[in-house]
Amino acid sequence: IDLKDATPIRALESCMINWNFTSDNKGIEGLEFVSHTTSARTYLLALCEANDCNDQSKPDNKGRILVLEKEKATFNNSCSWEHVGTLYLPSSVHFQDYSAISIQYQHLTRFPTYIAVSSQEMSQIWVGRIEEISKAPFFSITSLQNNIIYDLPRFPKTAKTCTIQYCNIEGITWQDNNQIILASDAAKDDQPTLCTNKEQSVHYFSFPQNLLN
């Protein structure tokens, strides 16, 4: 994509991702373009929506991120993104789905740094650590020391229970070290009416403690 002031966005190239999913509507839900400092190569980190990149997977703790490297177009073949490795979210992350991914770059060297992954179904965010390694899959992901999964604010249902109100989180990005911005999709017809209060909106949150400093 070419971005310039006062000019429209223009697509420069379109490359297929060479990966087969088991479902027509459960594929990749988030992308991060990253540079591997040591090798000077670039990759796409592609977050699978379903556990184990398979909508038939039963366990809820098999979050996967595909590491993709671009193959340039040749005379006989179009360009493509080829799978060169898979990152595994910690098994302590029990999400029913995975809806967005974002990396917070801390320094000019970029890595190690922090990664956030959201779940639409759970209305939660997990924050971990990502760093470079020399061999495939070229990055590794670990939990932070406290291994906390953050609930997005709940709506009080009774004196002792609460319910999800941020029902459709589909985008996430870092504002700074301890603040994030989330984007929500339209509520589905079969979701509770409460979900419409936060649909198709941008939400700005601070973590409850000084997370990354």
**Res 2: pLDDT:** 63
Question: What is the rounded CA–CA span in Å between residue 198 and residue 183?
Answer: 9
**Res 213: pLDDT:** 58
What does each of the 213 residues of the chain score in pLDDT, given as a tens digit? 566 676 777 888 899 999 998 888 889 999 999 999 889 999 999 999 999 999 988 889 999 999 999 999 998 899 999 999 999 999 999 999 999 999 998 766 678 889 999 999 999 999 999 999 999 999 999 998 778 899 999 998 877 788 999 999 999 999 988 899 999 999 999 999 999 999 999 999 998 876 665
The 3-state DSSP class for residue 63 equals coil
Q: Which helix (H) or strand (E) holds 36?
A: strand 28-36
**Res 144: pLDDT:** 87
Global confidence as pTM = 0.90
Contact of 132 with 153, CB cutoff 8 Å: no
Contact of 48 with 28, CB cutoff 8 Å: yes
**Res 187: pLDDT:** 94
Q: Which helix (H) or strand (E) holds 81?
A: strand 80-88
**Res 177: pLDDT:** 82
Question: What is the rounded CA–CA span in Å between residue 19 and residue 13?
Answer: 19
Beta-carbon contacts of residue 135 (< 8 Å; ≥ 6 apart): none
